[in-house]
Every structure is written in C-alpha cells, then in structure tokens.
Amino acid sequence: MKSDKISEAVVRRLPVYLRFLNDLQKREIATVSSQELGQKLDLNPAQIRKDLAYFGDFGRKGIGYDVSYLIEKIRHILKLDQQINVALVGAGNLGHALSNYNAYLKDTMKITAVFDSYAPKVGQKINSLTVQPMEELGQTIREQGIRIGIITVPDSEAQNVADILVESGIEAILNFAPVILKTPPTIRIHAADFTTDLQSLAYYLHDGKEEHTDEQQ
C-alpha cells in the first residue's frame, strides 16, 4: 500500500509502536502479540492488528509479531530506514533544548543544521552543531539534502521563516511557534503546542467540582 493512502491516525500511531518495539529489541525480546502491544500502549489489540495489516501480514497466529521484522517494516514505511536530515531555525531557549536533546539520539533522523538571524548567536556551538546565519540556509539545505524544518522563532517571525524554508525546498515543518502557518498544500505542517496542551490539562484537574471523563469529549 502506498504511504500517502495511510490515514493520519495510523501514521501517528506507527512511531508509538516503533518506540515500544525498539525497547523490546533492547531487552532481546523476539516476539510480541497484539494483546501485549495493546496492553502496554493502551490501545485496542484489534486496532493494532488492523494498523499493521495495512502493510502486509506480519503476525503469526499464536506467536505474534517478530519484533525485528516489524521494526524494519515500520522504519521503512516511515522512511526512517534512510538518513533524514532536519534543519532547525531559531537557536533560542527552545531551539537549544531540542538541538541538545537531538545530539544524543542514535537515529537516522537528526537535526544536522541550526540557523539564527541574530548575529551574536551565529557561530555558537550546540554540541557538535554550529549556529549558522540565515544567509547559509538555502545552500546548507541543498548540500545536506534537508527535507524537514523545525521552527522555534518568535510567533511574529514564524511565517517569514516558513516562507524561507519552503523557498529553499523543505517539504515538511514542525512548528513550535503559536501561529498558524500559511504554506502551499504540498507542504506538511505539524504544530507542537506545549502551552495549549498544558492549558487543556487544567480542565481535568480535580477541583472538587464535577468529574470530567473522555465520554464528555
């Protein structure tokens, strides 16, 4: 099945399966059933079997899924079986934190270039990465074959940065700025919103009033 026909919900669950499967592999566990996956990930086993059936018949009745094989398949479907270089724009507080975290990842998907428009930031080291000026963005993206961009600039600058990333050939953006970006329909945007996630959690606090459950969504 072609990856563009897979629903967004399934695509978003695949990395969740992958993280757990990687953990099983580290613990040298060779097989896993959809029941075990469901239990650990708080998902319906039937849903998991349906998700995985999209990509072929991996499971063996009574034995379950071969962990290594499933990891290989999911990585292939998510295109993580190839090196994916990521550019980050905005080497401020959040940009530093993300780039620092990323430095320790042993993964094929990594932040390989960091940019900032503020001259004193340019040349600063974040682990092995050196903050580059915006003027170098286009060339670096081409040279490194970068296809994904992360935006960690103030909201007032996010659209401007998105436009530059799109002009430079970026295909997908993870946007941390609290603003809705306007980009061509071919560009995939995912928004990461710490503030609204946190604020919506406040609704579920036990404040002595009525209980809120998922049924009320």
Ligand X SMILES: NC(=O)c1ccc[n+]([C@@H]2O[C@H](COP(=O)([O-])OP(=O)(O)OC[C@H]3O[C@@H](n4cnc5c(N)ncnc54)[C@H](O)[C@@H]3O)[C@@H](O)[C@H]2O)c1
Q: Residue positions in the annotated binding site for NAD(+)?
A: 90-95
189 binds ligand X (CB under 6 A): no
Q: Which is nearer to ligand X, 66 or 157 (CB)?
A: 157
Q: From CA 188, how far away is CA 209, in angstroms rounded? A: 41
| Binding flag, residue 134, ligand X (CB under 6 A) | yes
**Residue 79 Cβ vs ligand X, minimum distance, rounded to whole Å:** 24
| Residue 154 contacts ligand X per CB under 6 A | yes
120 forms part of the interface with ligand X (CB under 6 A): no
Q: Nearest-CB residue to ligand X?
A: 92
Query: Smallest gap, in angstroms, from Cβ of residue 131 to ligand X?
Result: 8
Which residue number, 48 or 94, has a Cβ lying nearer to ligand X? 94
**Least Å distance between CB 127 and ligand X?**
17
Smallest gap from Cβ 172 to ligand X, in A, equals 17
**Cα dihedral 81, 10, 202, 90 in deg (nearest 10):** 30
| Of 15, 56, 92, 169, the one binding ligand X by CB under 6 A | 92
Q: Is 157 in the site for ligand X (CB under 6 A)?
A: yes
Using CB under 6 A, count the residues that bind ligand X: 26
The Cα–Cα gap between 97 and 150 comes to: 13
Q: Counting contacts by CB under 6 A, is residue 93 touching ligand X?
A: yes
Q: Which is nearer to ligand X, 54 or 118 (CB)?
A: 118
The answer to whether residue 64 forms part of the interface with ligand X (CB under 6 A) is: no
Nearest to 85 by CA among 116, 109, 115: 109
Q: Which residues contribute to the site for ligand X (CB under 6 A)? A: 89-95, 115-118, 121, 134, 152-155, 157, 160-161, 176-178, 192-194
